[in-house]
Amino acid sequence: MLIKNTIYQDGVRSEDPVNLEDTFEMVRDHKAMAWIGLYRPDADEVRSIAHEFELHELAIEDAVAAHQRPKCERYGSTLFTVLRPARYLDETEEVEFGELHVFTGENFAVTIRHAETPDLGKVRERLESTPELLRLGPEAVLYAILDQVVDEYAPVVAGLENDIDEIEDELFGGDPEVARRIYELSREVIEFQRATHPLLEMLTDLEGGFDKYAVDLELQRRLRDVRDHTLRIVERADGFRSILQNALAVHATLVSQMQNEEMKVMSEASLAQNEEVKKISSWAAILFAPTLIGAIYGMNFDHMPELHWMFGYPMAIGLMVTMAVVLHRIFRHKHWL
């Protein structure tokens, strides 16, 4: 829908038309600049603007369909720019990405917003408070929008940095959910890189056309300043990704060490258990030999050679003791006892 529809002459707001038809007429008659702001418009609104300002059909398809990558394309005298603004949501600790399309021509600037961000109201107020800048035309509007988008990246960088600091604390605190949070934060950082990296290339391309399109010197300085800010943000985002990759590697190492410690404890327990089993088995064998002899002699058969022998009892006792002693020494030699 139509959010803002304004006519500017010589850097000053002159009219606020109630509809697009009046805007088109004023632009044609007064040779003024129109700044039209749309929020999630329907196809008919976009096509009416496209027909009036002779916008390229490919750019219109992109604007209607949305979900475009950041880019800057020139169609004759019209520049079509796609931006991916972002904002950090403190409540959910997430980054929300938007999409903004900007058409700038000789006497018009059309902004099509598909999300809540950026705050283009601030951009209008800023430009209207500096008529000498707004007097430079649609290129000044594009600069101010770029500057606002880049400025709104700063809180996102701060929020991501705070999340990474928390992850580093949780990493060594044994939080079982830290791996999932690292993964989710990595996805946000990658999405942030996709929004900022092309912007740096776009500003470089705009800088390359300063002489060809006779861009005002003051506007050149301001666009270079935006490019410097963008470069710092891109470098920070790249650093965040490296930190998260290292954090994921450290987490894998810590998990592996923890598993190794658990295996070590289990192995030690198993060894201790084996030692106990050896001792029990050794004593069981030692006691089994006398028991076996006693059981045989306890059968009381009539025809047993030693049953009525005078030395039968001492021999049985001696045999029991001898076998027990022999088995004990064997097990001691094998370190089972």
- Higher pLDDT: 10 or 337? It is 10
In a domain, 262, yes or no: no
Note whether 162 and 285 are same-domain residues: no
Query: Do 211 and 83 fall within a single domain?
Result: yes
In CATH, what number is assigned to the domain containing residue 210?
A: 3.30.460.20
Per-residue pLDDT, 280? 76
What pLDDT was estimated at residue 54?
87
Amino acid at residue number 44: D
Q: By mean pLDDT, which of 93-107, 199-213, 322-336 is the weakest?
A: 322-336
Number of domains in the chain: 2
pTM: 0.74
Nearest by Cα to 1 from 44, 34, 35, 33: 44
186 lies in the same domain as 327: no
Q: What are phi and psi of 125, to 5 degrees?
A: -60, -40
> In whole angstroms, what separates CA 142 from the centre of its chain?
30
**Which tokens hold the place of 186?**
């990595």
Would you say residue 232 lies in a domain? yes
Last-in-domain residue among 256, 281, 303? 256
In a domain, 263, yes or no: no
**pLDDT at residue 182 above 80?**
yes
* pLDDT (0 to 100) of residue 255: 67
191/95 Cα distance (integer angstroms): 9
Note whether residue 102 is domain-resident: yes
My answer on whether 225 and 299 are in the same domain is: no
Most confident of 63-72, 155-164, 213-222: 155-164
CA distances from 190 to 69, 197, 242 (A): 14, 10, 11
Helix (H, G, I), strand (E, B) or coil at 102: strand
Question: What residues form DSSP beta bridges with 79?
Answer: 74, 104
Residue carrying the six token digits 């408070």? 129
Q: DSSP 3-state helix, strand, coil percentages of the chain (rounded to 5)?
A: 65, 15, 25
Spatial distance between the Cα atoms of 118 and 120, rounded to a whole number of angstroms: 6
Greater confidence, 227 or 271? 227
Residues 206 and 302 in one domain: no
Q: Which of these ranges, 14-18, 63-67, 90-94, 240-244, has the smallest mean pLDDT?
A: 63-67
User: Has residue 12 been placed in a domain?
Assistant: yes
> Does residue 299 share a domain with residue 246?
no
For residue 189, give the nearest of 152, 156, 142 by alpha carbon: 156
Q: How far apart are CA 328 and CA 333, in angstroms?
A: 9
pLDDT surpassing 90 at residue 226: yes
Angle, helices 138-171 vs 120-128, to 10°: value is 130
pLDDT of residue 10: 87
12 shares a domain with 46: yes
Give the residue, 213 or 129, on which the prediction is more confident: 129
Q: Which pLDDT belongs to residue 305?
A: 67
Whole-angstrom distance, CA of residue 80 vs CA of residue 250: 44
251 lies in the same domain as 274: no
Of the candidates 230, 256, 282, which is a domain's last residue? 256
What pLDDT is attached to residue 127?
Answer: 92
Same domain for 288 and 167, yes or no, is: no
* Burial class of 37 by CB neighbour count within 10 A (0 to 12, 13 to 18, 19+): buried
Based on the fold, state whether residues 229 and 326 are members of the same structural domain.
Answer: no
Question: DSSP character for 214?
Answer: T
How does the average pLDDT of the chain come out, rounded?
Answer: 84
Confidence of residue 145 (pLDDT cuts 50, 70, 90): very high
Residue ending a domain, among 226, 256, 286, is 256
How far apart CA 314 and CA 180 sit, in angstroms, is 77
Does a structural domain hold residue 90? yes
**Which residues in 224-243 are b (16+ Cβ under 10 Å) and which e?**
eebbebbeebbebbeebeeb
Whether 17 maps to a domain, the answer reads yes
| Structural domain span for residue 328 | 270-333
CB 280 within 8 A of CB 200: no
- State mean pLDDT over 19-46: 84
CA distances from 215 to 3, 164, 211 (A): 29, 41, 7
Residue 97 burial by CB count (10 A; 0-12/13-18/19+): exposed, middle or buried?
Answer: middle
If asked whether residues 164 and 226 sit together in one domain, one would say yes
Distance CA 31, CA 17 (A): 15
* CATH code, 287: 1.20.58
The verdict on 194 and 238 lying in the same domain is yes
Residue 25 domain-assigned (yes or no): yes
